[in-house]
Every structure is written in C-alpha cells, then in structure tokens.
Amino acid sequence: MSNCVTCELIERRDRHESPLWDSIRRTPSWDVVHAFGTSVEGWLVLVARRHITSVAEMSDDEAATLGPLIREASRCLQVVLDCEKTYVVQFAEHQDHPHVHVHVIPRARDLPVEQRGPGIFGRMGASSGEVVSADRMNEIAARLSAELSIPI
C-alpha cells in the first residue's frame, strides 16, 4: 500500500535488510519488532505482515495466532527485563502507519505513576538523548529471540 511506512518496513524485512531489533521474530502472519523512538526498553510491536487497517479484517490465522503471540511476547519481556506486567494496545491511527500493529509494552516495576497506563505513550517520540539506542535494542532483541518459543 502506498503511504504506509509499516508496509515499507515489512518489505525491508523481506529483503533481509533490517537490523535485529527490527526483525526479532517473523511468523507467517506477524513480525515481532522493537519500537523505535521510545525511551522504554523492550517496547515491542507485533506487526501484521499483510496490509490491514482494522482488527476486523484479520484472517482466521492472523486472529488465531495473535493471542498466543501476545502472551509469549509478554512472558519473554517479563523474563528478559523483569518487568511487572505488559500493556497491550492497538490503534493503527498514525498517518504513516495506518496498518494493524499491536504494542506490547513492558511496565517496569518502578515506573512512575503518572507514566502508567495511557501515560506510557509519553515515552514514545522521546528526544534523541533518551531513546533506546540501536545497540541496546539489538541486545534486547537477541535475548528475546533466544527466549521466544514461537515457530519461525
């Protein structure tokens, strides 16, 4: 689809041109990637591999595999980052990303109250000095990839 950066990123993954953090695990229906531009380590995004703009458009396979993928991503985040829990959010409203993608966000044990729940989105679009570095995202991605028990 034109004007969908998410589709462009999927094509980059298909060409094997993405860094580890942008291709943690790929299944037939979903890509697991680390979010960019955030100050939250381990902020994952589960990206539908085909262009859909609504959850209602998911195929039976996409729908059947999403729940277990969310659970497994959450489990792995708790093991790798020792977070208390994860938040799961889906909007697909950004003008550059009108493509179904599900955020699985680790909620740190010491996260300030004002950043909990929807307040976590204040950590997206962080300044360059606050974002998780590519090296750190790759380190987390490698640990998550080793922990994930989802078939490729």
Q: Domain for residue 152, yes or no? A: no
Q: Provide the pLDDT for residue 151.
A: 59
Tell whether the model's pLDDT for residue 142 goes beyond 80: yes
Per the structure, the count of domains in the chain is 1
Per-residue model confidence as pLDDT tens digits over 84-138: 999 999 998 888 889 999 999 999 999 999 999 999 999 998 888 899 999 999 9
Q: Domain for residue 137, yes or no? A: yes
Q: Provide the pLDDT for residue 15.
A: 97
Q: Provide the pLDDT for residue 65.
A: 95
* Structure confidence at residue 149 as a pLDDT band (50, 70, 90): confident
Q: Domain for residue 115, yes or no? A: yes
Average pLDDT value for residue range 28-44 = 97
Q: Domain for residue 102, yes or no? A: yes
Average pLDDT value for residue range 19-35 = 96
The range of the structural domain enclosing residue 15 comes to 5-147
Q: Provide the pLDDT for residue 94.
A: 85
Residue 25's CATH number: 3.30.428.10
Q: Provide the pLDDT for residue 127.
A: 85
Tell whether the model's pLDDT for residue 152 goes beyond 60: no
Q: Domain for residue 59, yes or no? A: yes
Tell whether the model's pLDDT for residue 2 goes beyond 90: no
Tell whether the model's pLDDT for residue 1 goes beyond 60: no
Q: Domain for residue 41, yes or no? A: yes
Per-residue model confidence as pLDDT tens digits over 39-89: 999 999 999 999 999 999 999 999 999 999 999 999 999 999 999 999 999
Could you give the angle at the alpha carbon of 105 between the alpha carbons of 102 and 109, nearest 5°? 160
